[in-house]
Amino acid sequence: MPQIHDLTALEQATAVRRGELRSVDLVEHYLTRIEHHADTVGAFVTVTGQAAREQARALDAVAAGDRARRHPGPLYGVPLAIKDLTLTAGVRTTFGSAAFADYVPSVDADVVRLLRAAGTVSLGKTTAAELGCSLYSEGAVSPPARNPWQLGSTAGGSSGGAAAAVAAGLLPFAQGSDGGGSVRIPAAICGLVGYKPTRGVVSGGPLGAGGFGLPTHGPITRTVTDAAALLDAMAVPVPGEPYLPPPAPPGGYLAAARRGDPGPLRIGRFTTPMLADEPVHPDCLDAVDVAAVRLADAGHEVVDVPAPVGPEIWPLFETVWYVLALSPVPPQREAQLLPLTRLLRRRGHAISAATLVGTLAETQVQVRRAMRAIAGLDLLLCPTLSTPQAPVGWFTETGDPAEDFDRQRRFSPYCAVFNVTGQPSVSVPVAHSPAGYPVGVLLTGASGADATVLAVAAQLEERIGWAGRHPEIWRAGDSATVKASEPLRTGGAAGSRRSDSR
């Protein structure tokens, strides 16, 4: 008998629409799993169990009254969680930092408001890297985010808790954000789908300066169709955003992912790292080979091409990243920041306005050059990472934050380039390493071609047959099973390292 968390998010929503499950059943099921396993994988900073129960009961009441008259949305009643970098009104939002350990915003980020409007239910805030500055999630306000496939390894970052929760079966899917790979990196490490949409597709408001267009919200899910459905909920145009969103595909992103056959495409394959002169692990190279074969079998032309940029772009990205670390922090709390964050901020403060303007101008020159180099290609295929995993504590083990930062560049020399260009990019799991780690690949399309990226990712997912592969923790614990004609057996109250009933 399948358990509730064996169902995809879309399957769970279908069960709610049919009256086979209630939203409150889903919420109680996941809160029970969070109670048992969240600290093991370092998934949550704050759990909002009571608020989630109340919201689920309200959704169930509306659904019961309206079921005969209308269909709720495709994600109605399904739980998720919000990354701890994302403003959530009335809920502790620490930005992954002890400097904000008790901060409670008074406003929702647009994406939080839109996800609530779609009928999803937030169970709390997931572990994130401090101020989003690193590709691992090991801070001072929660346990480190660990890879559910191997608990001694990192879940990545900065959306590490979100990926750990989804891979461990503590959530069906999760909201993340990606300024330099922060959705795709943890997705690759944890065997998930991590989608970074085209710049402008998802609102970054209502606060903030836009981060020069690098950061965007995106979904972390088990399947491509779940990612597309969550993107549909996020991708609602909001007035005043600085980047004009491309037109949505007919029927939305879920329809594009379900379409299945985008037609024969020309896909450029490369494995040379772009931000560092770094050897690539054989498991990551093998994963690209596997993906290339499957895509060719699907009728696409896969051709070897040079990487669109090389390590010469790193100083440009590095300069922008230092400035992005300058989020407002009360001066009296600077000492509570982690060594890496303090280093990045010191370097950011040393950058003049003239240097920043010149860096942004040169970055745009490099982007134009890269886009012209790949003209005629529909998609790019490359590794997500240079190696499949890293142990918890590996980035910080020397005690030198400069070495920490350089290790991150060498570990992830692909993802951030596509934040600079603004292209849609997805990490898809395609293989297991001999050591048992998931290994992902990146598919990246032209700006605005999100529908094509999702359709090809769905093709690849189907041919790989990843569905049903889970870490051992997936089956751990006593959880509710799915049986539509009988009452469900659900767990009791849930908590976490820190709960918040607001």
Q: Is 83 considered catalytic here? A: yes
The C-alpha atoms of residue 358 and residue 361 are separated, in whole angstroms, by 5
What DSSP string describes 388-408? S--BTTTTTTTS-HHHHHHHH
| 3-state SS record for 86-115 | CCCCCCCCCCCCHHHCCCCCCCCCHHHHHH
9 and 230 Cβ atoms separated by less than 8 Å: yes
Among 116, 115, 125, 119, which residue's Cα sits nearest to residue 235?
115
Q: Is 182 considered catalytic here? A: yes
Catalytic residue chosen out of the listed positions 83, 327, 386, 496: 83
219 and 424 Cβ atoms separated by less than 8 Å: no
111 and 86 Cβ atoms separated by less than 8 Å: yes
Residue 158 preceded by cis peptide, ω within 30 = yes
342 and 401 Cβ atoms separated by less than 8 Å: yes
Catalytic residue chosen out of the listed positions 23, 97, 134, 158: 158
Among 44, 25, 41, which residue's Cα sits nearest to residue 495?
44
What DSSP string describes 249-311? PTTHHHHHHHH------EEEE--S-SSS--PPPHHHHHHHHHHHHHHHHTT-EEEE---SS-G
Which DSSP symbol is given to 423? -
221: helix, strand or coil: strand
475: helix, strand or coil: helix
Q: Is 196 considered catalytic here? A: no
The C-alpha atoms of residue 162 and residue 171 are separated, in whole angstroms, by 8
Bridge-based pairing of strands 121-126 and 79-83 is parallel
Catalytic residue chosen out of the listed positions 134, 142, 177, 182: 182
Which residue is associated with the tokens 């009933």? 501
- Provide the annotated active-site residues: 83, 158, 182
